[in-house]
Amino acid sequence: MTLALATEPTQAPATQATAIQTPLLQASDIVKTFGGNKALAGVSLDVRHNEVLALVGDNGAGKSTLVKILSGAETPDSGAIAIEGRTHHIASPQDALAAGIATLHQHLGLVDCFNVPQNVFLGRELSTRVLGLFPRLLHARMLQETRRLLAELDIRLPHLDRPVSTMSGGQRQAVAISRLLLGDTRLIIMDEPMAALGVNEGQKVLDLIQRLAAKGISFLIISHNLEHVMSISSRVAVLKNGRLVGAVDTNKTSRQDITSMIVHGRT
């Protein structure tokens, strides 16, 4: 895991300024049609380094379609995606992961009867070969690595050795998020992450997102909850009828302004 992006050794000031200006991800003129229905009619949107970008809009505005395209679950009819200024062809979730874009799906993708390290290392288990032949899983190493990862993320889970089915919704979400950070993830996309959580659990996930953002991970989060959006995001992008109404700095706007953008489609 590389969580040190925000505290990487300093570069020459000019280079650093250029690096900061180049968006982490740049989607340009994305068009997606389902049958005769234009879900996205040419959307351009940047995700910057170290930001929590909220994506809001009415039902059917095109939010899920846009993030599915960025995460490789859908392919656009036209348009381009660049990461750190370089064009990437994202045709599958594997392509997105290779580019550092991980998506947290609502179903979380956890195996209920597995414990925490088994879920964190799911599909990427650490193993060795006994006598050079027989594969053997390195359970102790995976437990140790999971502990290190959770400590680094400041996530406290009481029992790492219990099945995740015994955990609360927020704890399960924390496990799913840690899992995304095992690789070289730079952007985490979430579609309505807090929708299924209670108030306290939701707050813990919001806190975790903010801690990770401070460590250099960017987030693109779809939410209908404007209270969450105002408390967590650095910018808010509004979609309406498959078009971007605008993207505004959260601290320079209000809930009323955002609502007006969602309803009337103008800034």
Ligand X SMILES: Nc1ncnc2c1ncn2[C@@H]1O[C@H](COP(=O)(O)OP(=O)(O)OP(=O)(O)O)[C@@H](O)[C@H]1O
Min. distance of Cβ 38 from ligand X in angstroms? Answer: 8
Min. distance of Cβ 143 from ligand X in angstroms? Answer: 38
Decide: is 218 part of the binding site for ligand X (CB under 6 A): no
Binding partner selected for residue 61 from Mg ion, ligand X, none, CB under the kind-specific 5 to 8 Å limit = ligand X
Q: In the stretch 60-89, what mask flags binding to ligand X with x, by CB under 6 A?
A: xxxxxx------------------------
Decide: is 36 part of the binding site for ligand X (CB under 6 A): no
Q: Which of residues 64 and 253 has its CB atom nearest to Mg ion in the complex?
A: 64
Binding partner selected for residue 60 from Mg ion, ligand X, none, CB under the kind-specific 5 to 8 Å limit = ligand X
Decide: is 24 part of the binding site for ligand X (CB under 6 A): no
Give the number of residues in contact with ligand X, rule: CB under 6 A. Answer: 11
Task: Determine the residue type at 15.
Answer: T
Which 235-264 positions form the footprint of ligand X (CB under 6 A)? none
Min. distance of Cβ 238 from ligand X in angstroms? Answer: 11
Query: Residues in the site for ligand X, rule: CB under 6 A?
Result: 34, 37, 39, 57, 59-65
